[in-house]
Structures are given as C-alpha cells and as structure tokens.
Amino acid sequence: MEIIPGLPNDVAFECLIRISFDQFPKAASVSKAWNAVIKQPEFHRRRKVSGLTGPVIVMAQPMDGLIKSNLLPVYRLTLFEPVKRRWRNFPPVPEMVEGMPLFCQVVGIGPELLVIGGINPVTCRVQNSVFIYNFLSATWRRDADMPGNKDRRFFGCAASEEDGTVVVAGGNNWYNSLKSTLAYDVARDTWTKLPDMSIGRNNCGCVFHRGKFHVLGGFNMDTQDDSKLPVETLDLVTRQWQVINDYAIISPQATYVEIGGVIYTIKGKRDVVALEDATWVFVSRVPNDTQRVVYVTGWQGKIMQAWCKTARKHSEQVEQRCPKYNVKKQL
C-alpha cells in the first residue's frame, strides 16, 4: 500500500515523521495507511533519532477565576512547550467536570499521559480511576481502576519507558500508611500486585534509576518519625526489594528526577543536589525570586522547576474541606 501516491514509501515515511505532534490526530485521519504508519513504534523511534521530537510538559494548575463554592481552586491540565515557550489548553479529563481530582498522580509514558487516583474535589471521596490521554488520537479513555484498597490516597508513582510500566507505591487509607505496591502495564491494561515495601509510607518520592524503581522519603503515620524512613529499591525482573540506608533524607516531600543517569532534587528551598556514590552533592542554587519549589522535572539534559507562592493557602482550604486528614504536609 502506498503511503503517499506517487512517492516511494521510504520517502513518504520521511515526510510523515516531520509532522508536528499536535497534528498527529489530523494526519492519522487522512487515510488508513497514514494512521497505520503513525501508530508504528518505528515511526516514533525514527522521529527521535532524527532529532524531530520536542519536549512537552503537562502541568496540573489552578485556573484563574474558577473557584468552587467551597473556596477550592479548579485544577486543569495545561501543556507547555519549553522550546517554543508556548502554552496550550489541554482537553479536560472525562467525568471531571468539577476539575481534576486533588492529589492525583500524573505520569507520561510513550505517547500517552495517565491521571491516576486522587480525591474528588466536591465529595472528598477517594477514587482509584485511571484516565489515559493518547497524543496520537487526541482522545481520552478510561482504563482499569487500581485494585485493592479503595481508600488509597497520597501514593507515590513513577513510569518506566523501557518496560511500559507504571509503579504505584504506598499511600494511606485514612488510618495508616500502606506498604503495598502495584504495577500497571499500560499496553495490556492490567494491574499486578508486587511485593510489599519494608515499611508503610505515603506521599513518597518515586523515580526509576538504573533500571530499578526507587522510593525515597515520604511519611509514616504509625511511627511519626520521617527521618528514619530508608530508601528502598525494587527490581521489576526479580521482584525483590532492597533497603538502602546510605541515602540521607532530603525532605519527606521532595520531588526527584533522573537526568542522564543521575538523580536530582531540591534540598530545602534553594539547593539543587545530585546523588553521587550514595551521597547528595551540591550542584547549584535555585533563583532567589523562587518562593517555594513544588516540582522538578527534566528536559534536554536540563532541570526545570515549578514553584508556587500560594501553596499554604491552598493547603488550608483543602484541610477545611477534608478534615479527616491534615494535608498541610502534602503541599
């Protein structure tokens, strides 16, 4: 089948890989041949090898002017293209007319974006839903809910591009911190129970590093001593956990990111540090006009940090609406 009539398929393929990512849905609707090509893993591999891909960052942000009757801001997803310095509105999550769930996890894997769990901003009920946005079709779908504890809140989450797997670790169920860990296979839409961690923790930092799933920091509702939570790593092949006590605690709520095989995070309010030989090493200082770093991520070998100056205000509003749990630590 000819991809583009009158052109050799290899030439037509080179033409298609130059399409901007936001034009994929339109291109896929042109013909069955174009749709098949765009969905091929080779299509995206060639785009990446040819240097035609560009970074995009999806953020959950409060929308200006949209405030609920309970004084909580309405959160929506927005998309940012760092290279072009351009913002885009993101299609709303289905069934989320009242705004995104509070404290949900948002992770990207391949050409898809996952919104997992969270708390309904109106009823304060915990939901184990999984919504997936596909950039190729520009559509949302709802996949299998997280199994197990129906009150799992404030869990950690990280995605492995190599395995096509998202791992969910810890969380709490109003009463205690959870040790349980789950793996989600995005392609197969299946959840698998993994071995438990050595200690329960919620709001932990999670990152894949050197092929292993790392859990760092977090809180433990039983011991109330966050300084002694060990670093734990999980090998998805052997399904064995390893406890590492050499990593000093940076902050129970720190966000970690791997760039070029190195884990980075923000220590305190200003210091960017990297993990080298089981020791956190100072790298740089966050700009002085940054008031409170709430998230760090990486793109093109660089660190991007997002900051917020109203986190305490939002925390107090959420606490009033969900009084069963003190969430000031969570923001």
Q: Per-residue pLDDT tens for 254-276? A: 788 888 888 888 887 778 888 88
Nearby residues of 201 by Cβ (< 8 Å), 6 or more positions away: 156, 169, 170, 177, 178, 215, 217, 218, 219, 220, 229
Q: At what angle do helices 9-16 and 41-49 cross, to 10 degrees?
A: 70
Q: What is the 3-state secondary structure (H, E, C) of 266-306?
A: EECCCEEEEEECCEEEEEEECCCCCCCEEEEEEECCEEEEE
Please give the pLDDT value at position 232. 92
Please give the pLDDT value at position 319. 34
The pLDDT confidence band at residue 318, using thresholds 50, 70 and 90, is: very low
* Burial class, 298, CB count within 10 angstroms (exposed 0-12 / middle 13-18 / buried 19+): middle
pLDDT in tens, 161-190: 888 899 999 998 877 889 999 999 999 999
Q: What average pLDDT score do residues 93-121 get?
A: 86
Please give the pLDDT value at position 308. 62
| Average pLDDT of the chain, as a whole number | 81
The pLDDT confidence band at residue 321, using thresholds 50, 70 and 90, is: very low
CB of 15 closer than 8 Å to CB of 33: no
Block residue for tokens 């809910």: 145
pTM: 0.82
CB of 194 closer than 8 Å to CB of 165: no
Please give the pLDDT value at position 82. 80
Please give the pLDDT value at position 239. 94
Pick from 102-116, 123-137, 306-320: least confident? 306-320
Rounded Cα distance, 76 and 89, in Å? 9
Choose between 182 and 323: higher pLDDT.
182
Rounded Cα distance, 42 and 20, in Å? 16
Q: Which long-range contacts (CB under 8 A, 24 or more apart) does 9-18 make?
A: 13/37, 13/43, 13/46, 16/43, 17/43, 17/46, 17/47, 17/50, 17/52, 18/52
Strands 105-109 and 130-134: unpaired
Q: How far does CA 255 lie from the centroid of its chain?
A: 11
Block residue for tokens 């770093």: 293
Q: How far does CA 101 lie from the centroid of its chain?
A: 14
Please give the pLDDT value at position 320. 35
The three-state secondary structure class of 122 is: coil
Q: What is the DSSP letter of 261?
A: T
What domains are there in the chain, each with its CATH number?
9-49 (no CATH), 57-248+317-330 (2.120.10.80), 250-316 (no CATH)
Pick from 7-21, 139-153, 171-185, 219-233: least confident? 219-233
Render 15-48 in DSSP notation, one character per residue.
HHTTS-GGGHHHHHTT-HHHHHHHTSHHHHHHHH
Q: For a pLDDT cut of 70, what percent of the chain falls above it?
A: 84
Please give the pLDDT value at position 181. 95
Please give the pLDDT value at position 146. 93
pLDDT in tens, 224-248: 665 568 889 999 999 999 998 777 6
**C-alpha distances in Å from residue 129, one per residue of 87, 141, 164, 278:** 27, 11, 19, 36
CB of 294 closer than 8 Å to CB of 310: no
pLDDT in tens, 47-84: 888 888 877 888 887 776 555 555 567 788 888 888 78
Rounded Cα distance, 201 and 155, in Å? 8
Rounded Cα distance, 76 and 62, in Å? 6
Helix-strand-coil split of the chain, %, nearest 5:
15, 40, 45
The pLDDT confidence band at residue 323, using thresholds 50, 70 and 90, is: very low
Please give the pLDDT value at position 229. 81
The three-state secondary structure class of 78 is: strand
Choose between 189 and 313: higher pLDDT.
189
